[in-house]
Amino acid sequence: MTDKQFAVIGLGRFGLAVCKELQDSGAQVLAVDINEERVKEAAGFVSQGIVANCTSEQTVKELRLDEYDMIMVSIGSDVNASILTTLVVKEAGAKTVWVKANDKFHAKILTKIGADHVILPERDMGIRVARKMLDRRVLEFIDLGSELALTEIVIGHNLLGRPLSDLKLCQQSDVHVLGFKRGPNLVKAPELDISLEIGDVVIIAGPKELLANRLKSLS
Ligand code: ATP
């Protein structure tokens, strides 16, 4: 549950999936598309759906997009519209703008014009899938941007009964143990002398490279 307000501009498969997940998590979501049919599709599950062209400064002003906590621009096939919308929304004072890009050139332009986070869905998903294939003990590897990542490690036989400190994550000053899950219980910032059991899940965050090396050395 969150009291944050989100706006999703562009309701293709990606945008609709983002809307649905945010709304299912209890967030307020405004869904915007130039195409009425797409808005109708989203209207079944979002707080508000609006038909509008977000490349227009006037429209963005009227929608008060600067008041939203986070905006997702998920316009794929029309690259011009994606770039212009990002620019207009940022210039209108939007706080945090995430944008879906088609390729690395599109991504580069989006970063240059001020997108706060750029997603390359196929690349990002490919990386996550490969990491899961390489190490079945890694449940999730989430790219947090700016070279940072968050991951979950499942404890196997080799660490049974050993203290959490044996993961030797904390000697790397930039790698942090955020939490620890045993069954349904989540322990935030756990003690490092806690004795590990099979199936425990350790949640860590830090620089991507350091995490990847750490995972490699654990396997
Ligand atoms: P996917 O379906 O995988 O998400 P995609 O992003 O290429 O891929 P599109 O069908 O292009 O999917 O979805 C983009 C959506 O953005 C379309 O519904 C389109 O109508 C909408 N869109 C395009 N230009 C604008 C605009 N200026 N303002 C608002 N919405 C727009």
Mapping DSSP to helix (H, G, I), strand (E, B) and coil, where does residue 87 land? helix
On the question of pLDDT at 1 being above 60, the answer is no
Q: Does the beta carbon of 10 sit less than 6 angstroms from any atom of ligand 1? A: yes
More confident residue, 88 or 184: 88
**Closest atom of ligand 1 relative to the 15 alpha carbon:** 4
CATH topology of domain 5-120: Rossmann fold (3.40.50)
Residue 29 Cα to ligand 1 midpoint, Å, equals 17
**Mutate-to-test residue for ligand 1 from 9, 13, 33, highest number of ligand atoms within 8 A of CB:** 33
Residue 11 Cα to ligand 1 midpoint, Å, equals 6
Q: Could you give the angle at the alpha carbon of 145 between the alpha carbons of 121 and 29, nearest 5°? A: 65
Q: Cα(202)–Cα(137) distance, rounded to whole angstroms?
A: 10
Q: Does the beta carbon of 54 sit less than 6 angstroms from any atom of ligand 1? A: yes
The confidence band for 139, taking pLDDT boundaries of 50, 70 and 90, is: low
The confidence band for 129, taking pLDDT boundaries of 50, 70 and 90, is: confident
Residue 158 Cα to ligand 1 midpoint, Å, equals 48
Mean pLDDT of the chain: 87
Q: Work out the number of other CB atoms within 10 angstroms of the CB of residue 214.
A: 18
On the question of pLDDT at 133 being above 80, the answer is no
Spell out the domain ranges in the chain.
5-120, 135-218
For 43-59, what is each residue's pLDDT tens digit? Answer: 998 999 999 999 999 99
Q: Cα(210)–Cα(207) distance, rounded to whole angstroms?
A: 5
**Closest atom of ligand 1 relative to the 76 alpha carbon:** 6
Q: Does the beta carbon of 78 sit less than 6 angstroms from any atom of ligand 1? A: yes
Write down the pLDDT at residue 121. 93
**Closest atom of ligand 1 relative to the 85 alpha carbon:** 27
Pick the CATH number of 135-218 from 3.60.60.10, 3.30.70.1450, 3.40.50.720, 3.20.20.10: 3.30.70.1450
The residue among 184, 178, 173 whose CA lies nearest residue 210 is: 173
Write down the pLDDT at residue 49. 96
Q: Does the beta carbon of 34 sit less than 6 angstroms from any atom of ligand 1? A: yes
Nearest residue CA, atom 15 of ligand 1? 10
Write down the pLDDT at residue 90. 97
Write down the pLDDT at residue 186. 84
Mean predicted confidence (pLDDT) in 183-197: 82
For 59-105, what is each residue's pLDDT tens digit? Answer: 999 999 999 999 999 998 899 999 999 999 999 999 999 999 999 99
Residue 34 Cα to ligand 1 midpoint, Å, equals 8
Q: Helices (DSSP H) in 44-120: which residue ranges? A: 57-62, 79-91, 104-112
For 205-216, what is each residue's pLDDT tens digit? Answer: 888 877 777 666
Q: Cα(104)–Cα(121) distance, rounded to whole angstroms?
A: 11
